[in-house]
Amino acid sequence: MATVNCGILDGFIGKVGTVVGSFWKGTPVMRAYTRNRHDVKSERQLLERLRFKTLSELSSGFLDASIIGLRRAAAARHITESNLFIAQNFGMVVASGLDSVDIDFTGLTVAKGSLPGVHFNSPLFDTPQQVDVNFDTNLECKGAHADDEVYIFVYSPDAKYGVLSAAVKRNDGSVSVKVPSHWNGTKVQVYGFAVGAELSERPGETSMSSYIGSGTIG
């Protein structure tokens, strides 16, 4: 609301319609009213929003894995597995332009903990709609148990979601997972981790996840 000093035809201070009145060196002046532009985002802010949006989508796509792999670490920080996934992987997503987002799939963390992991070999794609992975058990490592559970997670960037395998025992030495038939011909990213057996020294403890590799579903 404007303040009029000496009548309607005199100078005024404040906004009237589409103009703003003020005094400069004792002289009444008017200027066009300009809306507050704080809501106009800079390119840097838009890139950060795009980066966060991409991370949120990744978090949803990796949820089946992170619910198991990040459960303990998230509970210790009193946050959700999804929020921890975003925090852990923030540096793996770079938005270099509004239509260009790069994801370092090799560096993504889907499980976090101190349990000894297994040594995963390269993923195999010989069986249609299936990914097979052999692994070394690492049973000689302190804290490793033959009954620890081992998982692999296969993520499709095209489908924007992944498939978690059923758990196998550390002593089994191999794990497989079926994937949807509509993934045929698409490239996938494969991760793995272990979870401590109930009767072991570290029940429920998780290993750090491993990036196993990538390949094309046949």
For 89-136, write each residue's pLDDT tens digit.
999 998 877 677 899 999 999 999 999 999 999 999 999 999 999 999
Q: For 8-15, what is the mean pLDDT?
A: 55
What pLDDT does residue 101 have?
84
What pLDDT does residue 8 have?
46
CA–CA separation, 120 and 135 (whole Å): 4
In the chain, CATH 2.60.40.10 sits at 43-216
CA–CA separation, 39 and 17 (whole Å): 21
Q: How confident is the model at residue 51 (pLDDT cuts 50, 70, 90)?
A: confident
For 43-216, CATH gives 2.60.40.10
Q: How confident is the model at residue 200 (pLDDT cuts 50, 70, 90)?
A: confident
Structure tokens at 205: 């403890």
**In Å, how far are 127, 138, 166 from 218, measured between CA atoms?**
7, 31, 21
Angle at 211 between CA 206 and CA 215, to 5 degrees: 135
- b vs e for 119-137, b when ≥16 Cβ sit within 10 Å of the residue's Cβ? ebeebbbeeeeebbbbbeb
Q: For 173-183, what is the mean pLDDT?
A: 97
Q: Does the pTM exceed 0.85?
A: no
